[in-house]
Amino acid sequence: MKIVNGVDSSYLKRSVDAGTEEQRIIVKDIIANVKNAGDKALKEYTLKFDQADLSSLLVSEEELEAAYEDVDKEMVAIIEEAAENIRSYHQNQLKTSWMVTKEDGTILGQKITPLDSVGVYVPGGTAAYPSSVLMNVVPAKVAGVARIVMVSPPNADGKLPSAVLVAAHIAGVKEIYKAGGAQAVAALAYGTETINSVDKIVGPGNVFVALAKREVYGDVDIDMIAGPSEIAVLADETANANEVAADLLSQAEHDTRASAVLVTTSQVLAEQVSAEVEKQLSELPRKEIAQKSIEDFGLIVLTETMDLAIESINAIAPEHLEIITENPFELLGKIKHAGAIFLGRYSSEPVGDYFAGTNHVLPTNGTARFSSPLNVDDFQKKSSVISYSEKAFVLNGQKIAAFARLEGLEAHARAIEARYKNK
C-alpha cells in the first residue's frame, strides 16, 4: 500500500455511476410501461431480465416457511439478535411532537407523524444481504410506518434467497414481492393491480434502480443514492498492524471502487500495515476485487501530529471511521465529518455492519459533510402547528399586514385585515 505525507482528499473522490443517457431512456420506458400495463408489464420484465416466469408476485406463507427450513437455526437466532440490537439503538432516535404555549394564548409546535408506507428495495444477484434488509426495514418500523413493502428480483427458479426472506420476516415485513430493477421501483411509486404504491422508496440497487429512483423522486420520496463505500482508520503506534490491515481489507473486498485509508502518526505502523495488507490480500477469496480497490483507492497517510491527522480525516469525511489510538474518546470531539465513528480496537467495522445496532446505510464518498446515516427521522415527517390567539393577533396583525405589503402581496395583508373588520 502506498504511503504518502498528508493527503489531498480530492485524490480519493470517486465518480458516482450516474448512468448513461441511453440507460435513462430505457428506465423511462420501463416506468411508462409499468404505469400503463401494471402487473403484466412487471411479469414480462421479470421474465426478460431475471429469467423467472412468475404466476404470483407475492411471496407466499409456504415460501416463507420453506425459507426458515433452509436457514441454519443458529443463524436465525443471530439475525434475530442483530434485529433486536438495531431496534433498540434506533428507538433512541424517535422524536416526539412538541409545543410551546405563551401567556397570551398562542401555541406553536411541531407534530411528528410516521410516513404511511415505505418500499424497501433489496438487490438480487449472487450475494444475498439479509443485514441490508434489517438496516432498511427496522428504522421504518421504529418510526411507526404502518405498511412496509419489500421488493427483490427473483432467481431464475422464481425464488428469493432464504436468508433475505427470514430477515424480512424478523424485521416485520408483511408484504414481499418478487420484482426488481426499474420495474419494481415503478411499481412501488405508481402501484399495480397487486402492489399498492408507497410514499418513499429506500434501499440500494444497481444503476437502473438508481436511475429509476431519481426519475420517480418528487412523486414519492427516495433515500440517498449510495456511492462507492469507504473506510478511514485513524491510528497511533498503539494499534495492531494486522487488525488495521484486516479492517482496511474488509472494506476493499466490497467493490473495486471502494476506498481504504489509514491516517497515522506512526511511521512504524504505516510500514507494518502496508506489508500486512499485501500478506492478507493474497489469502482472500475476493482478492481480485480487494486488490484493485487497494491499488486504485487505498492509501496510507503519514502525518507529524494527531491534529494534522484529524484534519486529513475531516477533509476525507469518511463513511466509516475507526479511531484506534491510546484514548480514542479524547479525539471524538474533533471529528467533524464521518458517517459512523468506531472507537477502539474492539470496534472493528463489521461490528457496526452487522450487529451493534447502529445503521450500516451511511453517507459515502465525502457526503458525510452534509448527510447522515439512515435513521428514524427518514421515516417520519413534521408538520408545523400554529394556533394564534386573538390577543396575539390584535397585537401583531398590523405588523404582519405591513410585512406582506412590503413584499407586494396585498391579498395577504387583506386576509389579516378581514379579521379586524369582523370584530
Output helix, strand, coil percentages for the chain, rounded to the nearest 5: 50, 15, 35
Closest approach of Cβ 253 to a copy of itself, in Å? Answer: 4
Closest approach of Cβ 29 to a copy of itself, in Å? Answer: 16
Beta carbon nearer to a copy of itself, 243 or 311:
243
Residue 373 CA to residue 367 CA, distance in Å, equals 11
CA distance to 49, 149, 295, 317, 319, per residue, from 187 (Å)? 16, 11, 40, 35, 31
**Residue of 155, 254, 275, 306 interacting with a copy of itself (CB under 8 A):** 254
Name the residue with cell 379579521.
419
Is residue 121 part of the contact set for a copy of itself (CB under 8 A)? Answer: no
Longest alpha-carbon distance in the chain? 84
**Residue of 37, 207, 306, 392 interacting with a copy of itself (CB under 8 A):** 392
Catalytic (active site) residue 62 = no
Is residue 211 part of the contact set for a copy of itself (CB under 8 A)? Answer: no
Residue 250 CA to residue 239 CA, distance in Å, equals 17
Beta carbon nearer to a copy of itself, 32 or 107:
107
**Residue of 83, 249, 309, 315 interacting with a copy of itself (CB under 8 A):** 249
Catalytic site residue from 215, 276, 311, 319: 319
Catalytic site residue from 320, 322, 349, 360: 320
Site for a copy of itself in 163-182 (CB under 8 A): 163
Nearest partner of 13 among 241, 227, 303, judged by Cα: 227
C-alpha cell at 33: 410501461
x-or-dash string of contact with a copy of itself, 271-300, rule CB under 8 A: ---------x---xxx---x----------
Specify the stretch interacting with a copy of itself by CB under 8 A; choose among 57-65, 135-143, 294-302, 390-398: 390-398
Closest approach of Cβ 99 to a copy of itself, in Å? Answer: 9
Q: Classify burial at 412, counting beta carbons within 10 Å of its beta carbon; exposed 0-12, middle 13-18, buried 19 or more.
A: middle
DSSP string for 245-263: HHHHHHHHTT-TT-EEEEE
Residue 301 CA to residue 261 CA, distance in Å, equals 7
C-alpha cell at 393: 393577533
Site for a copy of itself in 4-63 (CB under 8 A): 16
Is residue 389 part of the contact set for a copy of itself (CB under 8 A)? Answer: yes
Site for a copy of itself in 322-361 (CB under 8 A): 328-329, 332, 335-359
Name the residue with cell 409499468.
34
Beta carbon nearer to a copy of itself, 133 or 309:
133
C-alpha cell at 194: 397487486
**Residue of 185, 211, 234, 368 interacting with a copy of itself (CB under 8 A):** 368
H-type helices in 298-339, by residue range? 306-316, 328-332
Binding residues with a copy of itself: total (CB under 8 A): 122
Q: Binding-site residues, please?
A: 121, 183, 206, 229, 251, 254, 320, 353, 407, 412
Is residue 123 part of the contact set for a copy of itself (CB under 8 A)? Answer: no
Nearest partner of 166 among 120, 125, 134, 204, judged by Cα: 134
Q: Strand 175-178 and strand 3-5: pairing?
A: unpaired
Catalytic (active site) residue 319 = yes
Catalytic residue ranges = 319-320
